[in-house]
């Protein structure tokens, strides 16, 4: 049976180095001659993504549950793209995914279960890497920008929800793939090496069907 591409997700707080590390990971794939595509959530280019973008920039207001569902819908509208890429053996690297969806909305006080529900059944990553950085250390990396959620207290709560998600995925005996915490306070070359060491065993393809999140 031919292998499908690996589905790799990189999560973390703002300023944890996700964009840098996903770009470096893509370069590693390219240097190894393995086809790979980098996706980013939210995908601000779609119609739904533009609504999310204006919410994040505070040029529009939305109910907390309404914006949560838009973030989820923004993933569902990309599912067929993800499935098609993986099926032809292309690696898919995602900068944020459903775990960000739960972490950010639950930290506003919406229940964890309610936040998870709309993402149940999405393609499950084969590997989720959480770039772990303290909100204090994140702040020293040039400070937060202007967008909604880029505040230390919010980031602290978000980090706590991420930890709960990680425990459930790794400790729950579920078929949701692996979750690994990486110390993102280290130098970027060191973090990159740790990321690649975890990804490399999957890089040339994965046996077996794509699993579904939380099913």
Q: Which has the closest alpha carbon to 73: 113, 43, 36, 111? A: 43
Label residue 31 exposed, middle or buried (CB < 10 Å: 0-12, 13-18, 19+).
Answer: exposed
Cβ of residue 201: shortest distance to ligand FDM, in angstroms? 27
What is the contact mask toward Mg ion in residues 11 to 30, using x (rule: CB under 5 A)? ---x----------------
Choice from 149, 180, 196, 211 touching ligand FDM (CB under 6 A): 149
Q: Give the interface segment with ligand FDM, choosing from 30-38, 97-105, 126-134, 163-171 (CB under 6 A).
A: 97-105
> Is 116 an interacting residue with respect to ligand FDM (CB under 6 A)?
no
Instruction: Supply the Cα-derived Rg of the chain in whole angstroms.
Output: 16
Choice from 7, 104, 130, 144 touching ligand FDM (CB under 6 A): 104
Task: Give 104 or 162: the residue with its C-beta nearer to ligand FDM.
Answer: 104
> Is 101 an interacting residue with respect to ligand FDM (CB under 6 A)?
yes
41 binds, among ligand FDM, Mg ion, none (CB under 5 to 8 A by kind): ligand FDM
Query: Which two structure tokens, joined as six digits, stand for 105?
Result: 């909305």
Cβ of residue 71: shortest distance to ligand FDM, in angstroms? 3
Q: How many residues bind ligand FDM (CB under 6 A)?
A: 10
Q: Give the interface segment with Mg ion, choosing from 7-15, 32-40, 110-118, 164-172 (CB under 5 A).
A: 7-15
183-212 binders of ligand FDM (CB under 6 A): none
Task: Give 4 or 128: the residue with its C-beta nearer to ligand FDM.
Answer: 128
Please report, as ranges, the residues that interact with ligand FDM according to CB under 6 A. Answer: 14, 41-42, 56, 71, 96, 100-101, 104, 149
């Amino acid at each position: 049976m031919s292998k499908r591409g690996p589905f790799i997700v990189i999560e973390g707080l703002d300023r944890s180095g996700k964009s840098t590390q996903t770009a470096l990971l893509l370069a590693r794939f390219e240097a190894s001659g393995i086809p790979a595509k980098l996706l980013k959530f939210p995908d601000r280019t779609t119609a739904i993504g533009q609504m999310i973008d204006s919410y994040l920039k505070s040029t529009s207001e939305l109910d907390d549950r309404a914006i949560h569902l838009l973030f989820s819908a923004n993933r569902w509208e990309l599912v067929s793209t993800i499935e098609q890429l993986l099926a032809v053996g292309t690696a898919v690297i995602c900068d944020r995914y459903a775990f960000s969806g739960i972490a950010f909305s639950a930290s506003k006080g919406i229940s964890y279960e309610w936040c998870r529900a709309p993402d149940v059944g999405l393609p499950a990553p084969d590997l989720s890497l959480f770039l772990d950085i303290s909100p204090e250390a994140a702040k020293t990396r040039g400070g937060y920008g202007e967008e909604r959620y880029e505040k230390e207290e919010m980031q602290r709560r978000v980090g706590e929800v991420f930890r709960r998600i990680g425990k459930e995925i790794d400790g729950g005996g579920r078929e949701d793939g692996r979750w690994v915490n990486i110390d993102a306070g280290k130098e970027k070359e060191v973090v990159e090496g740790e990321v690649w060491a975890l990804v490399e065993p999957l890089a040339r393809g994965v046996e077996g069907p794509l699993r579904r999140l939380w099913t």
